[in-house]
Structure 1
Amino acid sequence: MSFDPATHGHQFFPGSASVGVLVLHGFTSTTASVIEWARAIHQADDAAGRHPSVSVPLLPGHGTTWEDLAKESWHAWRDAVDEEYWALRSRHEHVVVCGLSMGGALAVQLAARYPVAGLLKVNPALALTNRAAAYSHVVKHVVPSVPGIGSDINRPSKGETTYDRTPVAAVAQLNILIRQAIKTLPAVTAPAIVFRSTTDRIVADASVDLIRERSAGPVEVIALPNSFHVATMDYDQGLVETASRHAVQNLMRGFGLTVETGRAAASA
């Protein structure tokens, strides 16, 4: 499978507001799965009309071959996210972290270690529906890969560009990341908005339960009734984008990371 760097590689939208935004894609996917989400957030503005910078990094092992992903550790994903976070902090007073699926787990892990102004998570991966994934650390020695898990999308006209094979060794690393993220939830004090699909064949409902029960900061859950896992490309894409833009705009205008005030301001 060929990945065009122009559409699947690192993306950056510059801005001069006090807030920078980091947007993280999911496991075996690329930035293409979250780029429209990122563009929508970039349209947020503060009272002076300034926009946030939005950085959308391509995580190590992604956008090349599944064999490359099999060689990466969860530390490489974490370190890449850290690098992007500090790049944004060098230019902006505050950082909001957004993540889809595995990107949501990385957002939790980051927010537990560094100051963030808020989190926006779409179907964050803190619990997987496939119970066999728990044995990936053993299975990887005899089964190098399994069929791909991409394009869990309700919308027939949309497809996610992912690897057609999933490296089992990388699933084992994803499990370590998930365990680390769960452990650090009590240290996450930033407000969080979680977008949750009614039907999700990749991430279990326990993910949202864990965030609600263990996070130290306030958690708002927004239901996505018409989408599957990759909601940033599904029928509820517009809802995710609009709510996220309002939330970031709200923060930049001094109201905190909420959706409702942003909606009221937008209609005023």
Structure 2
Amino acid sequence: MKRIYSEAWNDYQLLDAGDNKKLERWGKVVTIRPDRNAYFQPVLSASDWKNQAHFEFIESSKSSGTWQILKNNTNKHWEINFNELTIHLKLTKFKHLGIFPEQRINWDYIAQHTAKGDRFLNLFAYTGVASLIARAQGAEVYHCDSVRQVINWSKENMLGSNLSDIHWILEDALRFAQREVKRGNKYKGLIMDPPAFGIGVKKERWKIENKFPELLELALQLKDKDGYIIANTYSPRLEAEKIQLIAKDLISNELVEVSNLSINSETGKRLDFGQRTLIS
């Protein structure tokens, strides 16, 4: 299976990984966060990690926890840059800071394959770096997420990056995609980053391994003939081979590329981040 790597940039580095944790630099702020894919031994010592880090996330459950302050007088809200974009970061109880750096390879693809006037759809959009990238290329951007707080966060990122006129959709992504198909709308570019599990509009619980075929079929109906789809998946129950079989059932003549997505740390450790499916 092909493996692709997202590269570091001036304001982000994966410094080290191991012991089910990762050490990351975000601008001038260094964090320690849990990561079950870091099942190997780190290169740097535990004291090296503590000496560098400003904050460490301590899990209280699989989905939440608290941040331990390791260096006093460190701002819990700060900004980093990616190319010409300004991204607002903050500590959340879900261990996330506002962006997923492993998606840098997707941002680069969007920048290279999106032009002025193209229609671009971001489903499960979170704080919207992909939306900003597409808007910076002059695309007409539709940003869909079901959580009002992260849409507001996305708006901060848009304004901080001196951009405007992104279309904000506060709605369940699957439901919005279904409606867009009925309306006959098409997009040059689509990206979707569905969670491994979630709760639907009727409060039903769903898992990505069950919903992915429907999501992919909807995305294919929304894609222009010369467009592209990027789908990120993180569930061990939806491996690359299964994604390829699903795609084979739905796709006839488009190019489908399923890759394992990784980042190399500054110490030479490889950390995996699920699969990236590219259809073009």
Please identify which structure carries the higher strand content. Answer: 2
Higher normalized contact order (CA 8 Å, seq sep 6+, divided by chain length):
1
Query: Taking structure 1 as the reference length, what is the TM-score of the superposition?
Result: 0.33
Please identify which structure carries the higher helix content. Answer: 1
Query: Taking structure 2 as the reference length, what is the TM-score of the superposition?
Result: 0.32
